[in-house]
């Protein structure tokens, strides 16, 4: 089902370093400056999904130039520089690591990385889990639903937190659902199935998903005539339970609330990229009852909230149609915009975003075969993967 392409010298691919073009990005705000450019070739749609955790990052290229199977590149920071540790690729052409719209099937946490193949086995889907060892990255487990059916798309959404992997299957039992896998006694086992109460056929629960500790949010962007909703689950003791089904205060049919989701420290952010005839919006919820705290939008934008990421008091919201990402900081209970990062036009800049501490990773899958931009240290621009 898969293979790992070994690279020389400690599994690290030597990367060309060259100056960043002056017009690659424009930034308004006082926290950003440019630094370096890393390249490793021209895989098509590189950056369609990204993930970062600490000193590790992964970038997905579902349609590489070398063939039809997907490739995921794993990066690690060594001596203050990001280098590639290698690539994972499916050997089945249909297994594209989530090439079709809406999937974000890559995650990394410490020495664990996982990649979804929602189109595997006639779209039943699987998730491949790898662990970094002294011998390099080794396949550790293949996660699946033993009772899965054709077109469940298990692995379309992935998230990881504290050794637990969240998997979304947006077409399971026609409504969609989530799964929690945990690592115990050197094995990955199914801990819980997150079955949404109040969902109906076609809602696509689990098309997006996020986990933070014992809290999970699953997006259902096609609920109620594509108005959308999101389902929030919490673990108390040994049991996972649904605690809320949320929606935006002013959402309407076709808004696709839940197309993107994030959760951190009790705060939930949900994107609705089709809100207001495609302007889009992002909604923030917090408190014990997850009351809507704030709505983020900008008149005249395009697909605002197509991708969101949150970590503590930092938030990234993409303006996909404008090839831009807005950065926010939390001041008390209010989120304030701190910077705007603009990519090149028509590059799908911001199609995927991920945050880990003071680091944000932004995908631009339409930029010369695809690129991923890394900004670090109080939002200082560091690297670009290509």
Q: Is the pLDDT reported for residue 283 higher than 70?
A: yes
Q: What percent of the chain has pLDDT over 70?
A: 81
Q: Is the pLDDT reported for residue 276 higher than 80?
A: yes
CA distance 178 to 155: 9
pLDDT bracket for residue 18 (50, 70, 90):
very low
How open is the CA angle 246-104-15, to the nearest 5 degrees? 145
Q: Mean pLDDT in the chain?
A: 84
Q: Is the pLDDT reported for residue 214 higher than 90?
A: yes
CA distance 164 to 180: 7
Q: Which residues does 4 contact at the CB level (< 8 Å), separation at least 6?
A: 86, 87, 88, 89, 130, 136, 137, 138, 139
pLDDT score, position 82: 82
CA distance 123 to 25: 37
Residue ranges per structural domain of the chain: 2-385
pLDDT, one tens digit per residue, over 72-130 is 889 998 887 788 888 887 645 545 555 554 576 899 999 999 999 898 888 999 999 99
The number of C-alpha atoms within 13 Å of 125 and in the hemisphere containing its C-beta is 28
Q: Is the pLDDT reported for residue 1 higher than 50?
A: no
CA distance 210 to 143: 18
CA distance 357 to 109: 13
pLDDT bracket for residue 24 (50, 70, 90):
low
* The listed CATH number (2.60.40.1120, 3.40.50.11750, 2.130.10.130, 2.170.120.30) that belongs to domain 2-385: 2.130.10.130
DSSP structure class, residue 321: G
Closest to 242 in 3D by CA, of 229, 252, 233: 233
Among 95-109, 219-233, 247-261, the range scoring the smallest mean pLDDT is: 95-109
Highest average pLDDT, of 9-18, 35-44, 76-85, 376-385, comes from 76-85
pLDDT, one tens digit per residue, over 33-46 is 333 334 445 556 88
Q: Which residues does 355 contact at the CB level (< 8 Å), separation at least 6?
A: 52, 309, 310, 311, 314, 315, 316, 361
Helix, strand, or coil (residue 23): coil
User: Per-residue pLDDT averaged across 304-331, rounded?
Assistant: 95
pLDDT score, position 81: 79
Q: Is the pLDDT reported for residue 179 higher than 60?
A: yes
pLDDT score, position 365: 85
378 with 385: CB under 8 angstroms?
no
pLDDT, one tens digit per residue, over 336-359 is 998 888 888 998 999 999 999 888
Q: Which residues does 379 contact at the CB level (< 8 Å), separation at least 6?
A: 29, 31, 32, 327, 338, 339, 358, 360
Q: Is the pLDDT reported for residue 15 higher than 60?
A: no
| Cross-sheet strand order for the sheet of 112-117 | 106-109, 112-117, 126-133, 136-143
Helix, strand, or coil (residue 316): strand
Phi, psi of 227 (to 5 degrees): -65, -45
User: Per-residue pLDDT averaged across 220-233, rounded?
Assistant: 97
157 DSSP β-pair partners? 104, 168
């Amino acid at each position: 089902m898969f293979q790992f392409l070994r690279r020389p010298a400690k599994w690290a691919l030597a990367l060309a370093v060259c100056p960043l073009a002056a017009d690659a990005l424009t930034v308004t705000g006082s926290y950003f400056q440019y630094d370096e450019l890393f390249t490793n070739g021209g895989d098509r749609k590189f950056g369609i999904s990204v993930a970062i955790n600490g000193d590790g990052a992964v970038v997905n290229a579902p349609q590489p130039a070398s063939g039809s199977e997907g490739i995921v590149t794993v990066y690690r920071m060594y001596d203050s520089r990001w280098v590639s540790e290698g690539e994972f690729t499916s050997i089945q052409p249909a297994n594209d690591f989530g090439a079709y719209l809406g999937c974000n099937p890559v995650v990394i946490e410490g020495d664990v990385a996982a990649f979804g193949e929602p189109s595997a086995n006639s779209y039943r889907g699987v998730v491949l889990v790898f662990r970094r060892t002294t011998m390099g990255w080794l396949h550790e487990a293949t996660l699946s639903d033993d009772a899965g059916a054709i077109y469940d798309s298990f692995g379309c959404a992935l998230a990881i937190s504290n050794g637990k992997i969240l998997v979304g299957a947006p077409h399971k039992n026609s409504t969609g659902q989530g799964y929690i896998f945990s690592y115990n006694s050197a094995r990955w086992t199914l801990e819980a199935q997150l079955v949404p109460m109040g969902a109906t056929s076609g809602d696509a629960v689990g098309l997006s998903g996020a986990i933070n500790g014992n809290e999970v949010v699953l997006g259902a962007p096609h609920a109620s005539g594509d108005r959308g909703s999101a389902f929030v689950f919490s673990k108390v003791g040994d049991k996972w339970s649904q605690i809320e089904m949320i929606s935006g205060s002013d959402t309407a049919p076709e808004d696709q609330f839940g197309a993107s989701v994030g959760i951190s420290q009790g705060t939930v952010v949900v994107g609705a990229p089709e809100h207001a005839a495609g302007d889009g919006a992002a909604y923030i919820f917090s408190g014990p009852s997850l009351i809507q705290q704030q709505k983020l939008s900008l008149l005249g934008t395009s697909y605002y909230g197509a991708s969101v990421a949150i970590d503590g008091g930092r938030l990234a919201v993409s303006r996909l149609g404008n090839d831009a990402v807005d950065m926010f900081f939390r001041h008390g209970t209010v989120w304030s915009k701190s910077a705007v990062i603009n990519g090149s036009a028509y590059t799908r800049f911001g199609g995927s975003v991920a945050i880990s501490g003071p680091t944000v990773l932004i995908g631009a899958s339409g930029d010369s075969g695809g690129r991923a931009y890394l900004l670090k240290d109080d939002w200082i621009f560091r690297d670009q993967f290509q």
